[in-house]
A = this chain, B = another copy of it.
Amino acid sequence: MPSSPRTVSLAVIPGDGIGPEVIAEALKVVRAAAPEGVTFDTTEYPFGAAHFIATGEILSDENIDSLKQHDAILLGAVGGDPRDARLTGGIIERGLLLKLRFALDHYVNLRPTALFPGIQSPLREPGLVDFVVVREGTEGPYVGNGGGIRIDTPAEVANEVSVNTAFGVERLVRFGFATAQSRPAKKLTLVHKTNVLVHAGGLWQRIVNRVALEFPDVAVDYQHVDAATIHLVTNPSRFDTIVTDNLFGDILTDLAAAISGGIGLAASGNINPDGTFPSMFEPVHGSAPDIAGQQLADPTAAILSVALLFDHLGLADAAARVRAAVSVDLAARGDSARSTAAIGDAIAGAL
């Protein structure tokens, strides 16, 4: 079924380190997989650590307004050398990545995990790995609501506040249930630490209990975050849809990526389901300055992020084709080392 003609305005932030390399391949796949009649009109933005060092600009209100004009954003990776004194305290991560998540109300951070055929897990017997983490993206300990007194004295106190609202948790939990309902296993696991973080945990648990009544076909359970890490390495098949807070989701999705072949394959979508603002798609990996510019990076995570972008744009067939092409490429990979561009060409060529 041909889609009706349409132009998608895509903002592209290649970023730092390996970002531009993986984005170049992702864009090949965008073009190769776009259904007939759907045109992608891309605008590149220079943001990142290098841009900050060169210009002093991280992300201004005008920049954000400009990004808002697009239908979606594709981001490579941002961040420079962690030892660079000009970049300490996560200034780029917070001033760019997290700022975008907050400014564009990306309250769903969607991170699917699947062990593709041919990929060796570090686990001896991974079994079937196919789950998705629905991570909250605009609350929790990420709100920047902390501070210190008597800094750098023996009497220093430094606090960090995790802020959780019924508004924020409920919309995320609803998205989680809808996600679970759309999957064959129809199982939702809330992950939190309700036995210690009783106020936030109580809010999450009560909202899950309540929303669950509207989704009687979805099975629901709960795990403490510490126990969840055990299950992720001993029995990942037990997971289908994990719903969790911003920080726990950050931790669990890196672990999830590790057990399914590494962050070279892990895609993510920072989604504003309401469509008020453009959603943003990015590989889970960082800018890896140590291997940048050498065509050593695996563009697969960026390419799988394009599949999430297609899903979000309602182009489910194109998304499925991208995943199928990735799957074929991964299955044939073996031990041979290919350049970033060779991998991108192979996947784009198979489309």
Contacts and interface: CB of A to CB of B under 8 A. Distances in A.
A5 interface: no
Contacts of A167: 154-155
Contacts of A230: 254-255, 257-258, 262-263
A230 to B, nearest CB: 4
Contact of A255 (B122, B148, B194, B255): B255
Contacts of A253: 226
A9 B259 CA distance: 46
Contacts of A206: 152
A195 interface: yes
Interface in A206-228: 206, 225-227
B154 A164 contact: no
A197 B160 contact: yes
A150 B163 CA distance: 14
B258 A159 contact: no
Interface in A146-187: 146-148, 150-167, 170
B154 A90 contact: no
A142 interface: yes
B161 A195 contact: no
Copy count, this protein chain: 2
Interface residues on A, range: 35 or more
Contacts of A141: 141, 160, 162, 196-197
Given A146-B199, A166-B155, A203-B148, A193 B255 contact: no
B160 A203 contact: no
B259 A158 contact: no
Nearest to A198: B89
Nearest to A150: B166
Indicate the member of A90, A141, A164, A198 with the most B CB atoms within 10 Å. Answer: A198
Given A121-B124, A157-B164, A229 B200 contact: no
Contacts of A247: 193, 196
A156 B148 contact: no
Interface of A: 89-90, 93-94, 98, 120-125, 141-142, 146-148, 150-167, 170, 193-203, 206, 225-227, 229-230, 233-234, 247, 250-251, 253-255, 257-259, 262-263
User: Which are the 3 A-B pairs with shortest beta-carbon distances?
Assistant: A90-B195, A226-B254, A156-B166
